[in-house]
Each structure stands twice: as structure tokens, then as C-alpha cells.
A and B are shown apart, each in its own frame.
Chain A
Amino acid sequence: MHELSIAQSIVEVVEARAAEYNAAHVKNVRLKIGEASGVVIDSLTFCFEMLASLEPTLAGAQLLTDIVPHRAHCRHCAHEFSVTNFIAQCPTCKEWSDEIISGTELQVLEMEFET
């Protein structure tokens, strides 16, 4: 349900840039979303489209998402590995890692617009 708040924040970020660059219409917005960010992409897209439809500059804009895998670095054996179910245990040496490399991103990457 917090996807609505996140979608609202995306709209605010994009609207500010659209105004700054005199964009007449935003065609698409690309996001970088980490696997472990707790965001459901379908819900986020639904909320974004709903909020975007209320803004003339954003109506019909497409939301594109790059999913970033949840990965960690092991300081004991220097191995990089995929984190499954938030359990960052190194598959090589079995030590737990507290060095998360990626997967928690919640970022607006770029947008395409017409002037």
C-alpha cells in the first residue's frame, strides 16, 4: 500500500524536472528498483499511472523499471553473491555478510519528454 506514497514522490520528482526543462509532455520515466526495496512493481505502476493521469504534463507517461538484484560482498573470502530471501550468507565460506552491494535502490533514473 505504500506504493501510492512512493508513486507520489516519483510524480513530484518528475514534475519538478519537467518544469525546470520546459517539458510539454513526459513520455516515459525510468526507475531503478532494488529487489529488496519492498516495492511491488505492479502496484507502483498502477499508482503512478493513476496519479500521472491527473497531471497534464504526465498523463499517459509510461513507467519503466530496471530491477537491481540483491547482492552482497563477503569480506572473508572476497566472493560476491546473490542474496536470497534477505539471508546474506556467503555460499562459499558460509560467513554472514553485512556488505550489501545492491538491491535496496529506489531511484528515478531518467525521463524522456517532448518540448
Chain B
Amino acid sequence: MPKLTIAQNILAANDTIAQEVQQSLATRGIRTINVMSSPGAGKTTLLERTIARLRGELAIGVIEGDIETSADAERIEAAGAETVQINTRGACHLEAHMIRAALKELDVAHINLLFIENIGNLVCPSDWDLGEDLRAVVVSTTEGDDKPAKYPQMFAVSQVMIVNKLDLLPYVDYDVEKVKRQALAINPQLRIFEVSCRSGEGLDAWCDWLFTFANGKS
């Protein structure tokens, strides 16, 4: 019986499209962040607050991924960013071909920073390259402080971690230092921001860093 050596990456088709997306964004001078978290960690709220704070300084675009509804895209648009909604109709993660299609609908002419809000899920999105420059994982104080240890791959593939909902710390048993320790044990290079989207705490540092990132300086 013939045996054929294939030696091909299973996700090679995705990676080829991701490279195409990355090149097309780089040519336009757009820097891109893939934002991932479990459902309810505050990705959309973080983007709303970020867009409001950086309005006038950066032109931000958002590709909004959800299984169903355009509720989040409406929130983001109301905050003042160019937005395209992707509905995956059941799929647990975004893939590069969805981003390529979404970019055709997005008016990218004046954008310098693009967020891709992935599906709320700490497992599946980590295997798919979307052509982003950087991956950011959001965790929140209402989730329990063992997420990095339980979902290590997500923290291993991210360059930034944002700890959200600091305002709720008096009411929950959440040890921020433990989360940081766990995450840094998996990924010592991880850049960490601690914020409360509700009170605004920590958002200045996050936005200052984003400003330099969007200008290609970090």
C-alpha cells in the first residue's frame, strides 16, 4: 500500500491567509491587536472606554466577533469607532479568512489601530493566527484567580494581559498577585495592565502604552 509523506501544518491554509492579512495591514500602517478572554471578562467594555479615551489621538477600527447578535458592534460604533461585526453562528473562535472578509467591509483608509475582539473563550482562539501584531488576554476579578494555571496556552501565546474589574476587589476573593505570578511563570515576557473599566483606574497607563504601540514604538 503506498505511503505518502505529507509533513504539512494542519492550519497551514489559515496561516497563509493570516500572513496575507498581516501584510495588507502593515502596508496601510495599521497595527492590530487580537483581544481574547472568557465570556464576560469585559472585552467590549474595555474597547468602549479605550475608544472614548483615545478619540482624537488615534483612529481606531474594531472587528467584532460574536457567535450571534450585533449588540457589541452597536456598542462599539456608539463609542465612535469604525466597526464590522462577524457572527460565527456557533463557531468557538475566529479564523483568518473571516478577518480577510471583514477587512473588505471596513473603511481602513484612516485607521491606525485595529482591534479584533475574538469570541469569548479561553481555549479555542489561541490556535488561530489572525494576522495580528499582538495578542492580548483579558481576565477579570469575578472569574476566580486560577485562570492562567487552568488555561495556560492562552497566556503562553499572548504578549499582554489585562486584569479588569479592579473596583470589585473588596467584594470577591481574588488574589491579583497570584494571577500575575501564575501568568508570569507561563510567560515571563507578558506585559500586564491592571484596570477597572468602571472606575477608570489604570486606563491611562493602558491607553498611553496603546498610543506608543499604534505609532510603532513598542
Contact = CB atoms under 8 A, between A and B. Distances in A.
Interface of A: 1-2, 5-6, 9-10, 12-14, 17, 21, 23, 27, 31, 36-39, 85-87, 89, 96, 98, 106-115
A41 B81 CA distance: 41
Interface stretch (B3-11, B166-174, B196-204, B207-215): B3-11
Contacts, number: 92
Given A5-B91, A6-B127, A86 B6 contact: no
Contact of B10 (A1, A17, A31): A31
A37 B185 contact: no
B5 A27 contact: no
B6 A5 contact: no
A83 to B, nearest CB: 10
B3 A98 contact: no
A108 B8 contact: yes
Please report whether the interface of chain A is mostly helix, strand, loop or mixed according to DSSP: mixed
Contacts of B1: 27, 112-114
Given A17-B6, A109-B5, A110-B5, A9 B11 contact: yes
Interface stretch (B23-31, B133-141, B149-157): B149-157
A86 B10 contact: no
A43 B149 CA distance: 22
A38 B123 contact: yes
B8 A12 contact: no
B127 A86 contact: no
A108 B152 CA distance: 24
